[in-house]
Amino acid sequence: MDEKLSICLLGPKSGGKSSLLASLTECVGQGAFGYSARLRPTLQSITEVEFRKGLIDRRKADFLTAPQTGYERLKQDLINGGIATNTLDTYEYYFRLTAHEGAQDAPASSRACLLEIIDASGDVALPSDEARVAILDDVKAKLARQIFKSEAIVIVLPMVRIEESGWPGALVRLIDRLTLTRDKNLRRIVVVFSHYERLFTRLGPDAFTYACDPAVARYVLRRTMRASLWFDHLRKLQLDSQAITARFCVCSSYGFTKRFQNPNIDPWQAGDKLFHRKELEGLSAVSEYWRPFLTAEPILYAALGLDSAFTFSFEQLDAHA
């Protein structure tokens, strides 16, 4: 029987949680991650019934009448111009992850697991200190149960001036609560900074060359988290609980354009829009250009506990070399 894992996706409002999730299967499919080619992961969206009861025989399924899944709608919303989980609740999405560890021309050992990924609204998960949004007690209790039953937590933070944002206080309180609570399943915490591509918007076709250098990513993370109070609280959580490991990475849901290598933000459209051919619609309009970057990293580490070239530990970020 496949192993089942729950992963909580937390972060402030408009931080990039839902966009990361929406681009996840595309990132895995295109191999736009820092893992070895020997891993060869596959990620398939499944239904809640398949997660709870077991996988169905999809050859016998009626695809003509099957309704569109929540994940498919989420992905389509991203293609159509961006998304945010604005509802004051949580959404659950389900996947089958298979990792084929070994060379392509040799027998490989396969590791499969079923994932439940819980995407919580930023107003619920990490509300701003200035927020005046009323959250139902039932929703707070629901998210608390989901957090403490999860084997992993992925915290998605926008790459902004942290000291000027309103959510670090909520992040400290979350980490402290995890530190004080002993009855939890938590094994892994991944902190991922989104909007990575925006650092390279002026580099044109050289953007991807710099973005895909792990040394650049590590430098960006070290600068971003310097003197962050929550960083030390998370370090203490890992030290106090020998069962929990923490990793840090960057990601870009919009990613970089194929062939041209520049950040995939269309300057001719209002707001943040992916490059696409206007005569086409939906995924086919952007798939020839769209290469999401590293959005698989936090989920693959949360599920498998395997480091990539872009997942960094406390020791790696502390090192001067």
Average pLDDT, rounded, for the chain: 84
Q: Rounded to the nearest 10 degrees, what angle do helices 229-240 and 168-180 cross at?
A: 10
Distances (CA, A) of 121 to 92, 171, 242, 320: 12, 14, 30, 37
Q: What was the pLDDT predicted at 126?
A: 81
pLDDT of residue 124: 79
| Average pLDDT estimate for 47-69 | 66
State the pTM of this model: 0.89
Q: Is the pLDDT of residue 204 over 60?
A: yes
Which sign does the torsion angle of CA 250, 255, 258, 260 carry?
Answer: negative
Q: Which pLDDT band, with edges at 50, 70 and 90, does 179 fall under?
A: confident
pLDDT at 88: 75
| Contact indicator for 9, 143 with CB cutoff of 8 Å | no
Q: Please give the average per-residue pLDDT across 25-37, as a whole number.
A: 92
Residue 216 has pLDDT above 90, yes or no: yes
DSSP states along 131-177: ------HHHHHHHHHHHHH-SEEEEEEESS-GGGSS-HHHHHHHHHH
Q: Which residues of 274-306 are buried (b: 16+ CB within 10 A; e: fewer)?
A: bbbeeeeeeeebbbebbbbbbbbbbbbbbbbee
130 has pLDDT over 80: no
**Which region among 137-141, 180-184, 304-308, 313-317 has the lowest average model confidence (pLDDT)?**
180-184
Joined tokens for residue 133: 């949004």
Residue 116 pLDDT: 95
Residue 187 has pLDDT above 70, yes or no: yes
Tokens of 172: 């400290």
pLDDT at site 189: 95
Distance CA 97, CA 112 (A): 6
Asked if residue 103 has pLDDT above 60, the reply is no
pLDDT higher than 70, residue 188: yes
The token duo for 46 is 């499944």
pLDDT, position 212: 94
Task: Flag whether pLDDT at 25 surpasses 50.
Answer: yes
234-252 tens-digit pLDDT: 999 988 887 899 999 999 9
Q: Are 154 and 12 in contact (CB under 8 A)?
A: no
For the domain spanning 3-56+63-318, the CATH number is: 3.40.50
Distances (CA, A) of 8 to 17, 177, 185, 254: 10, 15, 12, 22
pLDDT grade for 29, boundaries at 50, 70 and 90: very high
- Mean pLDDT across the stretch 147-170? 86
Residue 109 has pLDDT above 60, yes or no: yes
Q: Of the segments 132-141, 142-151, 269-278, which one has the largest average pLDDT value?
A: 142-151
Predicted pLDDT of residue 247: 96
Residues 218-235: tens digit of each pLDDT: 999 998 887 688 898 999
